[in-house]
Structure 1
Amino acid sequence: MSSITLKNISKYICKDINLEIFDKELLVLLGPNGAGKSTLLNVIAGLIDYEGSVSFSNLPVDKVPANKRRVGYLFQELNLFPHLDVSTNIAYGLRIQKQSQDEIRTRVEELLQIMKIKHLSSRYPKELSGGEKQRVALARALANSPRILLLDEPMNSLDYRTSKYLRTEFKTLQKKLGVTTIYVTHNFYEAEEMADRIAVLDKGRVEQIGSSKEIFFHPTEAVSDFIGHQIF
């Protein structure tokens, strides 16, 4: 897979961000709305212009277009195609890359098994629950075997029970696949549950980075204010 190195990244609210994400790590970007979390994901994915440099495994990718960066991206809005069934939704990116029918069929079958949604393969998005849609969207993000996976508040629209269950499943899956992952949330408890490390963003800057215990027991003043409102 890949490590990620961000050097002096500036775009919109983000100012001179420097950040290292380790190979196979699950890093959580934690912060309030408007802190720059989604902007940073878009920079890594190559979806917007930016100042600074992005490297994957020490190789600069600043001139590499988004469709060549091998980044899977699960947006806040899942954007499943309503007129396509589950299997065809998952296969969409593979078809864009003009893979053979046999390759597409094999990969889709594999993802249906991994995500435990084989029984949903011929259903359409309107026939799925929120949790089922989430699984399909994640399968689609994984279809092209990305070296990096970006998740932008993926559990935001789900009820607590479904969200809790899927978070547990996803963390197990992430470790099994070994894909370097950045997971965005504004919820400290969610970050604590998911993260190998947490990077707290505030007003476009990395305010603090460390384990959940380090963030909780030794927060900076700004981080203390942010997580304190959630805990107390």
Structure 2
Amino acid sequence: MNTTEQFIKTYHIQTLRGTDDFKKEFSVHDWSAPVIQNPDQLNEYIHRIGLIGAAIQEVTTVSPPCLLPPVNHDSLTVEFDNVLVIITDRGAFEISYSESSSVCISKNRIPKRLYYKNENSSMDNLQLLFSYLKGDSITDISIKSQSFDEADFEFTGSFGIYLEENLPAYIKEFRLLLKSKRQLAFTSYFDWGVLSLLDEDGEFETLKSLDDVNHHCNCSKTCNSVEDVMESRNT
């Protein structure tokens, strides 16, 4: 029994019920990833599969990402409905957080032929965000929790999953802490995922120019939390 199977059995974790028998295109219904909704279990699982301590070599997505226009064109924050792949010296970690309090993570389950590679100008902010991550290392994880009622308000069940009842807490946001002191933040907005690059103070990284080669000379701050981005979409 591998690490993931043992974790699923120990905590009776629901999965996406697939067998990783992917055909020509990626389908979430073919994916076997566990669906983690409890903050403590997410923290344990992230450590179990070896993501903490991994050195990032490349970052991509599975299939063409469906992107929403950024709230702030200078902000390294993207809203999309897709699986993120963090390729490291310890393997490829596939992550999806586009359903309320339901984080799907697997390791080396999705074949490389399904990775998306395209120099599409509409992906500039996403590609730029990815470029900041290459060469960095993941040192820890922090998780923000919420109540069942808060999680249930945005829960859609779009993956054919359900929101577990009576958990001690539910996932609102999680951040991968990097050796560079930056933070890669994941949150959800109904059935969309939100990915943001934050500085060491937890504020959004922004750029004055996409052509900045030093990646730090032109940074400024515009928001204090991922929730600010969500609120600005509604005003």
Same fold by TM-score greater than 0.5: no
Shorter-chain TM-score tier: under 0.3
TM-score relative to the length of structure 1: 0.25
Larger radius of gyration: 1
Larger relative contact order, structure 1 or 2 (CA cutoff 8 Å, min sep 6): 1
TM-score normalised over the length of structure 2? 0.25
Say which structure is richer in helix.
1
